[in-house]
Amino acid sequence: MLDFDQPNLSPTDNVRRDILKRLLGVTALSALTPEFLKQAVAADTAGKTLMGPRVPDVKPTQLTDKLYVIKARDKFPTPQNLGFFTNITFLVTSKGVVVLDPSASVEIGRMAIRMIKTVTPKPVIAVINTHYHGDHWMGNQAFAEQFPGIPMYSMKESAEAIKNVLGEQWIQMALKTTDKATRGTVITPPNSFIKDGDVLDFGDTKLNIHHYGKCHTPYDLLVEFSGTPYMHVGDVLMGHRMAGMGDNEGSFLEGMKVLDKIKSNFGDRTFIPGHGQWRNTLLAEEIALFQTLYNTSVAVIKETNDDPNGVGIALKRIKATPFMVEYAKHTPDFENSVAKWTSLAYLEAEQNNF
């Protein structure tokens, strides 16, 4: 029997537990044995032999003479968007094309390949996955099929998480949230490892790799495009969206430290997020969001001596701040989202202050 309530789980174990809870519900976890997982995977094999629908083409937006983004229109997966809710970035270098975060299915990856071919005849020579969430690597399959042997980069820990139960659970989650529009997608994990301080040399362009610690996940990569004002930030920054902060997967307190490091080193950049619009105001907005949620929670805990109704008090105070009043105007499903964010921030603040 798997014990999902052990107190000292590793970050990967905590992430695994969180995803399984989301998929099956807490009460079902007692039935989650290795044999159960094996049967679940086998039962899904037949479904994967069928392909999901072709994803409509999305014209790339050109940012520089070399840098492009295929922008997702939505911030969450639905049957209508076929799972395409994560921006795909690509860079045309003298050696070939480098793709960052090829989104959430093999068909989305194939769409990206079609769009890249409208820009350049050069082959794709590398893929980078900024972290282990499926909407950032499930498109890998299309590139592995079209360009055999291509290096796919991530942190080693991200690749290991994908190879283990997380990969299959993201496949299942995508099928569930898109009404099986992602059918045919199989686990295609990164096969090459990078870390903080590494430099990927693609001839006329170098990519500087940064990892500043836990924020959205424990293994978030930042990719600096040398010679441009742009930086790819994966899900460390998001446009009016937040996810993946529960069950020790992400951290508000550690995340604020990461954001401060980005501000110190790259405060003047325009940031390309996995979700939302790229802009140079994104970092300041994310810092304000983290500070409002976490610091307000800490203040309420201290002022009320950790009152049992503290989350509600913090939520009311957070929603009344001038920053959050303005933020709400541009955030889909704000009421549900801010309640969840506040609950997570308050829980972390409790753990850090008592």
Q: What is the per-residue pLDDT for 165?
A: 79
Which residue type, as a one-letter code, is found at position 85?
A: F
- CATH 3.30.300.170 correct for 61-280: no
Q: Of 310, 336, 338, which is closest to residue 324 (Cα–Cα)?
A: 338
CB 52 within 8 A of CB 82: yes
Q: What is the pTM of this model?
A: 0.86
Q: What is the per-residue pLDDT for 30?
A: 39
pLDDT tens-digit profile of 125-141? 999 999 999 999 999 99
pLDDT tens-digit profile of 316-346? 999 999 999 999 999 888 998 899 999 999 9
**Polymer length in residues for the chain:** 354
The dihedrals phi and psi of 297, each to the nearest 5 degrees, come to -60, -45
Domain boundaries, the chain: 61-280, 286-353
3 state DSSP class of 208: strand
How far apart CA 270 and CA 267 sit, in angstroms, is 9
Q: What is the per-residue pLDDT for 49?
A: 58
pLDDT tens-digit profile of 223-263? 999 999 999 999 999 988 877 677 778 999 999 999 999 99
Q: What is the per-residue pLDDT for 18?
A: 54
3 state DSSP class of 271: strand
Q: What is the mean pLDDT of residues 297-313?
A: 93
Q: What is the per-residue pLDDT for 50?
A: 87
Q: What is the mean pLDDT of residues 60-64?
A: 98
Q: What is the mean pLDDT of residues 193-204?
A: 98
On the question of pLDDT at 16 being above 80, the answer is no
| Residue 279 DSSP code | B
Q: What is the per-residue pLDDT for 155?
A: 98
21-30, 153-162, 170-179, 241-250: least confidently modelled range: 21-30
pLDDT tens-digit profile of 275-284? 999 999 999 9
How far apart CA 215 and CA 79 sit, in angstroms, is 29
Q: Which residue reads 């989301």 in tokens?
A: 22
Confidence of residue 170 (pLDDT cuts 50, 70, 90): very high
Q: What is the mean pLDDT of residues 172-191?
A: 97
* Bridging pattern class, strands 206-210 and 192-193: unpaired
CB 216 within 8 A of CB 255: yes
Q: What is the per-residue pLDDT for 17?
A: 53
Helix or strand run (H / E) with residue 88: strand 88-92
Cα 338 to chain center, whole Å? 19
Confidence of residue 48 (pLDDT cuts 50, 70, 90): very low
Is pLDDT larger for residue 48 or for residue 63?
63
CB 202 within 8 A of CB 53: no
Q: Which two tokens stand for residue 55?
A: 């994803």
On the question of pLDDT at 154 being above 60, the answer is yes
Confidence of residue 188 (pLDDT cuts 50, 70, 90): very high
Q: Which residue reads 């009460």 in tokens?
A: 27
Q: What is the mean pLDDT of residues 181-202?
A: 98
Q: What is the per-residue pLDDT for 4?
A: 28
How far apart CA 336 and CA 340 sit, in angstroms, is 6
Average pLDDT in the chain? 88
On the question of pLDDT at 22 being above 50, the answer is no
